[in-house]
Amino acid sequence: MSDEIERTKPADRDASPGADEKAWVKPFSDYGPIVVFFAAYMGWDLLVATAALMAATAIALAVSLAVNKRVPLMPLITAGVVGVFGGLTLALNDDTFIKLKPTIVQTLIGGVLLIGLLFDKTLLKPVMGSAWPMDDTGWRKLTRNFGLFFLAMAVVNEIVWRTQTTDFWVTFKVFGLMGLTFAFSMTQIPILNRHRVEDEG
């Protein structure tokens, strides 16, 4: 019996680092392409940055598939939008299309979340439920709030790129959208706490 226990210990230790290694894939996929985009823009121009964003997004998807053996739906949709609008930007030498990309992505996310509610589907729950268990009322509120927030961000992006310089828009895209999303997420903590349910497991 003791020999069996000893033999299982190394396997358990090996499994843990594997789980830890996979944890970096999401931030790498989420923020890696943005960092590459900003760095390329600072060094060259928006067209070079667009090409770099497309390449970095493709690499991020490949890494996610290789390490986690799957690609989440939203990053896949985002990659599709990047490919289409980035390709149009490069083919037509017109940065309007890449500036529209955040508008399209935010509108898609917000629209999907709100339409899901019409069919009694809280689409944030499969994504966040394991990390923060809540009752159904809490998930409906959170899904509604984030759906409206993403639609608002789409409107804000339209206002920014149509009224401000390209330099300002790039800074807003890289830091502004991320900062606003983080700040809004913090305002939702009371809902998370109020509707949290204890995990019986």
Q: How confident is the model at residue 199 (pLDDT cuts 50, 70, 90)?
A: low
CA angle 5, 11, 15 (to 5 degrees): 135
Length of the chain: 201
Give the integer Cα–Cα distance in Å for 152 and 150.
Answer: 5
Per-residue pLDDT tens for 95-135? Answer: 999 999 999 999 999 999 999 999 999 888 887 766 778 89
List the structure tokens of 152: 């608002």
On the question of pLDDT at 151 being above 70, the answer is yes
Domain ranges within the chain, ordered by starting residue: 1-93, 95-201
pLDDT for the residue 71: 77
By 3-state DSSP, what share of the chain in percent is helix, strand and coil, each rounded to 5?
Answer: 85, 0, 15
Give the integer Cα–Cα distance in Å for 101 and 200.
Answer: 42
Write phi, then psi, for 80 (nearest 5 degrees): -65, -45
CB neighbours of residue 179 within 10 Å: 11
CB neighbours of residue 1 within 10 Å: 5
On the question of pLDDT at 183 being above 60, the answer is yes
CB 147 within 8 A of CB 117: yes
pLDDT for the residue 84: 92
158 or 25, greater pLDDT: 158
CB 134 within 8 A of CB 197: yes
On the question of pLDDT at 20 being above 70, the answer is no
Q: Of the spans 26-35, 61-70, 92-101, 124-133, which averages the highest pLDDT? A: 92-101
pLDDT for the residue 77: 81
Q: Give strand ranges (E) for the chain.
A: none
Q: What mean pLDDT is predicted for residues 55-71?
A: 86
Name the least confident of 73-77, 110-114, 116-120, 191-195. 73-77
Name the least confident of 123-127, 154-158, 167-171. 123-127
On the question of pLDDT at 74 being above 90, the answer is no
Task: Give the percent of the chain with pLDDT over 70.
Answer: 87
Q: How confident is the model at residue 10 (pLDDT cuts 50, 70, 90)?
A: very low
Q: How confident is the model at residue 11 (pLDDT cuts 50, 70, 90)?
A: very low
